[in-house]
Structure 1
Amino acid sequence: MSAAPVRKRVAVLISGRGSNMQSLVHAAAAADYPAEIVGVFSNRADAGGLAFAAEHGIPTAVRSHRDFNTRADFDAEIEAVLEGWGAEIVCLAGFMRILSEGFVERWRGRMLNIHPSLLPAFKGLDPHGQALAAGVTEHGCTVHWVIPALDDGPAILAARVPVLPDDTADTLAARVLVEEHKLYPEALARVARGEAWLD
């Protein structure tokens, strides 16, 4: 009988409810999923996703960026936490801090983010409002590699959602979120299996 394949060790960074983190945890519960979630880090002690992680037996860590003099100092602390968990891949899931270039470069090709638009369209904040203002007929979400430029790394996977005539930013966001919860686990699985990589 062959040994079970070694699963990639993944840490997830959140700042809020962590619904995409939850989708990754649910996916990783499957025996044949190629990654395991080994820790959840937040810069906010009140992040709702921390309780979910703890309930599922996943180690958590909280460090407030306000306790550090510089972004580099804060990122060094994140690095120490990730090292303690033996993380091999980092997934950003609603982590509302811009990471330093040095940190991003250290995790180059091993850090993913999900953004609720079809990148390169509508980077940054309020992508759903941006999409409605632009009058597009199609919107969606993208899992991409993290590089120093914000929301600018090469796409790994994307999912498309039609924009309906009566959509508001909230209704559009809700439909995109359904796709996000399917897309992120699939993208992480591809990376963990070595089927996607950053050139």
Structure 2
Amino acid sequence: MNTDARVDGYIAAAAPFARPVLEHLRAVVHAACPDAAETLKWRMPFFEYRRRPLCMMAAFKQHCGFGFWQPEAKGGDADGMGQYGKLTAIGDLPPKRTLMAAVKAAMQRIETGAPSPRSRAAAKPAPAVPDDLAAALALRKHAAAKRHFEAFSPSAQREYTDWITEAKNAATRGKRLATTLEWLAEGRHRNWKYL
């Protein structure tokens, strides 16, 4: 098995209910695809086949998610990440044989070179930085916040810009701006508490 110690750490740090689910998913993927290589992407375990994303799993506070990067059909369960909804126990998953067949089907899609539905989506442009955030980042005292903000991906930047611009009143916007500057100075993503 092409395992990654970071995935071991991820599973060990997961909530007690999640560990058996993650271990089961990991074993099923490797049984179905012995050539699958583990890695972390977006801070969650991914399995790659022929250097392309095959599937992923994640643990949250009260459920797990599992899904394929290139699903057979668009969509998935609206109630959770991936195609299998919110998983709280191994029994929430289809039988092992069904899961293995799904992994093999995903491998086949990679082997045939089917384009990923995600690759067809147009990349979003970098977010427009609100004037008050831009002015604050221009200040010398916020140099660290500016450095981290500029190093973040456009999606990570957008999490902050959207959070600030979605404030309903000036007081809330001011608090969010102050919090943004504090978290950025520490190099934290907007939703760092949940990562």
TM-score when scaled to structure 2?
0.30
Answer with 1 or 2: which has the greater Rg: 2
TM-score when scaled to structure 1?
0.29
Structure with a larger share of its residues in helix = 2
Q: Which has the higher contact order (CA 8 A, sep 6+)?
A: 1
Structure with a larger share of its residues in strand = 1
